[in-house]
Amino acid sequence: MSISSNGGDPVILATAGYDHTIRFWQAYSGICNRTVQHPDSQVNALEITPDKQLIAAAGYQHIRMYDLNSTNPSAVINYDGISKNVSTVGFHEEGKWMYTGGEDCTARIWDLRSRNLQCQRIFQVNAPVNCVCLHPNQGELFVGDQAGSIHIWDLKTDNNEHFIPEPDAAIQSISIDPMGTMMAAVNNKGNCYIWTLTGGKREEPTQLHPKTKFLAHNRYVLKCLFSPDSTLLATTSADQKCRIWRTADLTQLTELKDSQQRWVWDCAFSGDSQYIITASSDQMARLWSVDSGEVKREYSGHQKSVVCLAFRDEVVT
């Protein structure tokens, strides 16, 4: 099991949500070893920087970055100049910049090389942004919005195009597998769309080829995520379940459900693709075996819904 720390960087698991705290856990024991107060708002999204030095928390009208390697309870970088909720946050693989999306109908690029979070570029769309996914080529952002559009923003050329998989169905989450060969998008009607991807190398833009659409859940799908080895796709839903699908044929491998679990908002795979952690409205995060569907750990301590998590168990070289 790759979630114990063995001589490399420590495993980092953080959870947050509506109780205005970010909790850090020993992933293998389930013990909470640090709690940071985030008093300004709920936390909508969490992401760990590639060098594992900082964690970004996206909230209402702000982004806060906390130091992972000290006990400093205060944010070390703050940005407050956004008009509404920031819904998603992520990083360039070399940590040069951060991307965010939010209810102000924008996706944004932030330069991380200066400590005072400069917004370098803004991509404006016509509806609140629910999700942003960076292609593994680090050059294209896929932006999903409340009106049902998926926008492809080429960061090198600044070209963009968009399409609507299903009218009047909000795009909730987009995931591209680590090899850059498949893309999934899920919506508030419970549907999951799969494309195969070609191009995306050097100067060639990524081409999407529709592969299939299937009903993943009977209610809102909140998140989709490919496993690190590209063989699995997880979907989480308002139907209180997380489902794991085989990418080879899109048959269901396991359904992760617990009698206490409510809406499942977020998930993250372990580096070996054998475990997955979920965040739920029942104030819990859980570690599951992907193959057996068993709960291996519960992370309890939050006082309200847990809607986001960040997990890193791979060693930074």
Residues 6+ apart with CB under 8 A from 166: 148, 187, 189, 191, 193
Which residues are paired to 252 by β-bridges? 245
For residues 131 and 110, the answer to whether their CB atoms sit within 8 Å is no
Tokens of 50: 């590639």
**Whole-number pLDDT of residue 315:** 55
pLDDT for res 114: 73
The rounded distance, in Å, linking the Cα atoms of 221 and 211 is: 19
Nearest Cα neighbor of 194 from 171, 210, 218, 216 is: 210
pLDDT at 68: 93
**3-state SS track over the chain:** CCCCCCCCCCCEEEEEECCCEEEEECCCCCCEEEEEECCCCCCCEEEECCCCCEEEEECECCEEEEECCCCCCCCCEEECCCCCEEEEEEECCCCCEEEEEECCCEEEEEECCCCCCEEEEEEECCCCEEEEEECCCCCEEEEEECCCCEEEEECCCCCEEEECCCCCCCEEEEEECCCCCEEEEEECCCEEEEEEEEECCCCCCEEEEEEEEEECCCCCEEEEEECCCCCEEEEEECCCCEEEEECCCCCEEEEECCCCCCCEEEEEECCCCCEEEEEECCCEEEEEECCCCCEEEEEECCCCCEEEEEEECCCCC
Q: Which two tokens stand for residue 31?
A: 């013990």
pLDDT at position 314: 72
Other Cβ atoms within 10 Å of 46 Cβ, number: 24
- Residue 244 CA to residue 290 CA, distance in Å, equals 7
pLDDT (0 to 100) of residue 4: 44
Q: What pLDDT does residue 10 have?
A: 73
The 10 Å Cβ neighbour count of residue 48 is 18
Mean pLDDT per 10-residue run, the chain (317 residues)?
47 94 93 92 96 94 92 88 92 94 96 78 96 96 98 94 96 97 97 96 89 96 97 96 97 93 93 96 94 95 94 71
Taking the CA atoms of 280, 286, 291 and 292 in sequence, report the sign of the dihedral they define.
negative
Q: Rg of the Cα trace of the chain?
A: 18
| 153 torsion bin: left (phi>0), alpha (psi -120 to 50), beta (else) | beta
State the pLDDT at residue 13.
Answer: 96
CA nearest 225: which of 235, 213, 215?
Answer: 235
